[in-house]
Amino acid sequence: MSNKVIYAIYNDDDILMDAVKKTRAAHHHIEEVFTPFPVHGLDKAMGLAPTRLAICAFIYGLCGLSFGTWMMNYIMIQDWPQDIGGKPSFSYIDNMPAFVPIMFEETVFFAAHLMVITFYMRSRLWPFKEAENPDVRTTDDHFLMEVAVNGNEEELVSFFEGTGAVEVKVIEKH
């Protein structure tokens, strides 16, 4: 099996969107699209599944809420229920208003940070990671669509030239 891919390079996001739709209609498999900025509707045009990051964040928030509640209950009510300025430390609910700011902040803290870390892990981003840029111009003003080559190479190249690409390259991938 060949490891050849086509790099179709565009210099306008509208042309890119049209090309993506045509490519999908022609049933060519799009491996990846590189853009210098978010192109609205690109994920829908490519048929990508919606992200579940928000669901993760909600669950992380619940974890944070539980952690905050457990922590304040253990420290302030169970472990050493001191009388501090007449605050009622008899049960958690008695003194709950005082704990709400902490519970709230823990919820936000867990939801935000764990969601960001999840994002980094899922998108494989970390310091010293080697950039996966197929063409340096894609970070500046060019858009690149990578499509696997199966079958007739010439036909594919001419197909992508017909979609308004400024440049079509066939690359052997390791």
Partner 1 sequence: MYTFSSKLKTFSFILMAVGLLGIGYGFLTAPKDIQEVEKILAADAHGSHHEAGSESEGSHTVSATAKIKAEAEHTEHLTHVLHQLQNKPWSALYVACIFFMLLSLGTLAFYAIQQVAQAGWSPVLFRVMQGITAYLPVGSVIFFLFLVLCGLHFNHLFIWLDPEVVAHDKIIANKSGYLNFPFWIVRAGVFLLGWNAYRYFSRKNCLAQDESDDNSFYKKNFNISAMFLVFFIVTESIMSWDWIMSLDPHWSSTLFGWYVFASFFVSGITMIAMVTIYLKSKGYLENVNSSHIHDLAKFMFGISVFWTYLWFSQFMLIWYANIPEEITYFVMRIQVYNLPFFGAVVMNFLFPVLILINTDFKRITWVLVMAGTVILLGHYVDFFNMIMPGTVGGSWFIGVSEIASVLFFLGLFIFVVFSTLTKAPLLPKRNPYIEESKHFHY
List contacts with partner 1 (CB under 8 A): 54, 58, 86, 97-98, 100
Q: In terms of C-beta density within 10 A (0-12 exposed, 13-18 middle, 19 or more buried), how is residue 125 classed?
A: exposed
Residue with Cβ nearer partner 1 (97 or 151):
97
Six-digit token pair at 67? 């952690």
User: How far, in Å, CA of 83 to CA of 94, rounded?
Assistant: 13
Minimum separation from the CB atom of position 90 to partner 1 (A): 15
Contact between 20 and 145 under an 8 Å Cβ cutoff? The reply is: yes
User: How far, in Å, CA of 142 to CA of 60, rounded?
Assistant: 37
Contact between 89 and 83 under an 8 Å Cβ cutoff? The reply is: yes
Residue with Cβ nearer partner 1 (112 or 170):
112
Minimum separation from the CB atom of position 74 to partner 1 (A): 22
Residue with Cβ nearer partner 1 (39 or 98):
98
29: how many CB neighbours lie within 10 A of its CB?
A: 10
Minimum separation from the CB atom of position 65 to partner 1 (A): 12
Minimum separation from the CB atom of position 48 to partner 1 (A): 16
SS3 at position 168: strand
Residue with Cβ nearer partner 1 (104 or 120):
104
Six-digit token pair at 44? 């829908």
Six-digit token pair at 84? 């501090």
Minimum separation from the CB atom of position 97 to partner 1 (A): 5
